[in-house]
Chains A and B, each alone.
Chain A
């Protein structure tokens, strides 16, 4: 019986676990969160039960089915609160216990095959004032709404790019807050061009289409304006958000002078797409694509033998694509083949959904002149307080375009988040100013330690060699 470890219990990881087990593997699923579901099915903890939590979700029944199947499956073990901090030549190093605890159990797994399903997090472009209290990432506001039942404000502005903004607006409205407006940076002409192209493709993804229609209905019902070609280009307030400036953008996301409007608001949700969580894939040695996702072949294999990847780390495509990719990855990781009848449906769905994902990416691609809305004082790196001007000064001081030396001089990306929030922005700002337009191929994605660990936990020399149990044993 082959042993498969899956990292990530979001849609992709859950699907991978079930299909690997169905093919006969013994499976362990590791996730840092204290319950399964990932970002899409982020929900209230068991201590806070309710009668109709499904109202906050799409595909809740699917999730319940998967969760129950996993719990009942003797060959699948889910380890929650499992913080995978390193992968080293096939060994998966994990700390199991409370988030940022100090006395967690240190384990190492050495499976026959590994499926990476670590998902993605919000990409947030800086805006003057974006570090004021009351500004949240779009996903963060949603996570607080779904996972805490907290409304981030009374008058909430949702802004950025991508269809995800609609989901966020719907989640915020469901907390009883009012959404002042949804501002999508891409212009209507671009949206229509990509969204309306080849309508039969849209028709082939009924679940996604239904979900989007559902969000649109929420906006209509609550009379929330959806304004394309506009962005929040500044956020104002003394100690917290008091207002935002909304500007019309040209096709390159440059604010159009004279179009500014100030709106009263007490919270802002910003999201400009997603960044894949690549650190473990990079640690495992997986090759990345030009667009900086994990490169996979038709069987969801990465460039490293016995390491597979599925879900948003291979490209942003939404829940259904994550499910299809996960099912394929799990099946092949367990020893199956792509041509097996068990995968026929998933392979066909993946093809359709990838096309859909590509058109979304094109419709909402970040405009090349977004940085023109920054001011010199705008903070770029929130951890280390590095401003746009600091970054520029570091550049001229080092007279080098090497990302490493620029980071060391400016300290951008060297704080506790290790550049997760600002990394791609720092790269974009520096390479725009670098004469050769790039940074010697360096990137901010590499993080040798994927999860925070305490020195004490490392020093204690008792990592447990964890077997992959049949449930109830070990």
Chain B
């Protein structure tokens, strides 16, 4: 695994116990902890890509990590165009990858 979480047991910041959550990503269960963003859960499982660019179909995932680049858009609980790096995951969230349809709100 390449991208991965810092193992809590050896993390020098000594994290306290966290609350496990599960989200569904394209129907697959993914484990995370409360407080992680959707992008955080993806990257922690070495998933770098969850979208394709509209013209060239090139893989996209998180790039800027701070809500600026919009590379990381996903569908969360049926809502399109959610920035995965900005959205805190909640237990039971249903995440789907965006199809190449017209984006909402334009």
A interface residues with partner B (beta carbon < 8 Å): 32, 34, 39, 42, 44-53, 55-56, 98-102, 121-122, 131-137, 139-144, 147-154, 174-176, 239-240, 266-267, 379, 382-385, 415-417, 420-421, 452-455
- Decide if A53 touches B13 in the complex (CB within 8 Å): yes
A52 near B12 with CB under 8 A, answer yes
Contact with A along B65-78 (1 / 0, CB 8 A): 11111110100000
- List chain A residues, Cβ under 8 A from B66: 39, 42, 121, 139-140, 143
Taking CB as reference atom, which chain A residue is nearest B10?
A: A176
B34: chain A residues at CB < 8 Å are: 47-48
Cα–Cα, bound, A175→B3 (Å): 10
Min CB distance, B92 to chain A, in Å? Answer: 15
At the interface, yes or no: B82 with Cβ under 8 Å from chain A?
yes
Cβ-defined partner of B2 (8 Å) among A48, A52, A144, A153: A153
Structural contact, B63 and A137, CB atoms closer than 8 A: yes
Contact in complex: A175, B43 (CB < 8 Å): no
Say which size band chain B's interface belongs to: 35 or more
B29 at the interface (CB under 8 A from A): no
Contact partner of B18 among A34, A47, A99, CB < 8 A?
A47
Q: In the complex, how many residue pairs between chain A and chain B have their CB atoms under 8 Å apart?
A: 184
Evaluate contact between B71 and A382: CB separation under 8 angstroms. yes
Residues in A with CB closer than 8 Å to B63 are 135-137, 140, 382, 421
Q: Which residues does chain B contribute within 8 Å of A122, judged by CB atoms? A: 64, 68
Q: Is B48 an interface residue (CB 8 A)?
A: yes
Q: How far does the Cβ of B31 sit from chain A's closest Cβ, in whole Å?
A: 14
Interfacial residues of chain B within 1-54, with CB under 8 A of chain A in the complex? 2-7, 10-16, 18-19, 33-37, 39-40, 43-44, 48-49, 53-54
Q: Decide if A133 touches B14 in the complex (CB within 8 Å).
A: no
Residues of B within 8 A of A49 (CB): 15-16
CB of A144 within 8 A of CB of B58, answer no
13 A-B Cβ contacts within 8 A?
A: A32-B67, A55-B13, A56-B13, A99-B82, A100-B81, A100-B87, A143-B85, A144-B43, A154-B2, A382-B53, A383-B53, A417-B71, A454-B104
Chain B residues with CB under 8 A of A133: 48-49, 59-61
Cβ-defined contact, A417 with B105, below 8 A: no
With a cutoff of 8 Å between Cβ atoms, the chain A residues found around residue B83 in the complex are 99-100, 452
Give the distance to chain A from B4, nearest Cβ to Cβ, in Å: 6
List, in ascending order, chain A residues with CB within 8 A of B19's CB.
47
Nearest neighbor of A155 in chain B, beta-carbon distance: B2
Told that A47-B18, A99-B86, A149-B6 touch, could you supply 16 new A-B pairs with CB distance under 8 A? Answer: A34-B88, A42-B66, A44-B15, A48-B18, A51-B14, A51-B16, A121-B66, A136-B63, A136-B64, A141-B65, A148-B39, A150-B3, A384-B54, A385-B53, A421-B64, A452-B83
In the assembled complex, the Cα of A47 lies from the Cα of B16 at a distance in Å of 10
Are the CB atoms of B79 and A100 closer together than 8 Å? yes
Residues on the A chain within 8 Å of B14, using CB? 50-52
Alpha-carbon separation in the docked complex, A452 to B54 (Å): 19
| Chain B residues with CB under 8 A of A383 | 53-54, 70-71
Contact of A382 among B60, B62, B86, B104 (CB under 8 A): B60
Instruction: Confirm or deny: B101 has a beta carbon within 8 angstroms of a beta carbon on chain A.
Output: no
Q: How far is the CB of A329 from chain B (nearest CB, A)?
A: 23
Residues of B within 8 A of A266 (CB): 2
Assess whether A55 is in contact with B81, with CB atoms less than 8 Å apart: no
Q: Tell me which residues across on chain A come within 8 A of B6, comparing CB atoms.
A: 149-151, 175-176
Q: Which residue of B49, B60, B68 is within 8 Å of A420 (Cβ)?
A: B68
Q: What residues of B have a CB within 8 angstroms of the CB of A99 in the complex?
A: 67, 82-83, 86-87
Contacts of A44 in B (CB 8 A): 15, 35
Are B53 and A47 touching (Cβ within 8 A)?
no
Complex: how many Å from CA A123 to CA B52?
A: 23
Instruction: Verify A137–B104 contact, CB threshold 8 A.
Output: no
Residue from A50, A51, A379 having most chain B Cβ neighbours under 10 A: A50
How far is A56 from B6 in the complex, measured between Cα atoms in Å? 13
Residues of A near B12 (CB, < 8 A) are 52, 55, 174
**A48–B15 alpha-carbon span in the complex (Å):** 7
The residue that A267 contacts in the complex, of B2, B5, B87, with Cβ under 8 A, is B2
